Amino acid sequence: MNYINAFLFCGFVCLIGQIILDNTKLTAGHVTTIFVVLGAFLDIFSIYDKFVLWAGGGALVPITSFGHLLIHGALERAHNFGFMGLAMGMFDLTSTGIISCIVISFFLSFIFKPRD
């Protein structure tokens, strides 16, 4: 059942992205940026948490989860430290993704050559 939920949720997010891409002049970069902002926005009212509970991994794979994790880590620290906590915990949960992405692509770019 979890797999079906994951399929439906992740597919639906990608479907919205494709519809935006086809019907407006926005590029792929715009669409991913919009989704990150949307993910952060949905977390004001803890809506995205419910999506994660419902769809599991399916809600964590789209780029919306990036915004969700950013604001989640920030608020966790903000509990103890107030305003400064927002900046302290911002990358708590997403740092693994960003840093592994930077390191992996840095070293792989030594080995491989660009193809067109």
Where on the chain is the footprint of other proteins (CB under 8 A)? 2-3, 6-15, 17-19, 21-23, 28-29, 31-33, 35-37, 40-41, 43-44, 55-58, 60-63, 65-67, 70-71, 74-75, 78-79, 82-83, 86-87, 90, 93, 96-98, 100-102, 104-106, 108-109, 111-115
* Minimum distance of other proteins from residue 96's CB (angstroms): 5
* In the complex, minimum distance from the CB of residue 25 to other proteins, in angstroms, rounded to a whole number: 13
Q: How far apart are CA 2 and CA 68, in angstroms?
A: 20
Nearest approach in angstroms of CB 55 to other proteins is 7
With 0-12 / 13-18 / 19 or more C-beta atoms within 10 angstroms meaning exposed / middle / buried, residue 22 is exposed
Q: Which long-range contacts (CB under 8 A, 24 or more apart) does 57-60 make?
A: 57/6, 58/5, 58/6, 58/7, 58/8, 58/9, 58/10, 59/6, 59/9, 59/10
Q: Cα–Cα–Cα angle for 79, 95, 77, nearest 5°?
A: 5
Least Å from the CB of residue 12 to other proteins:
7
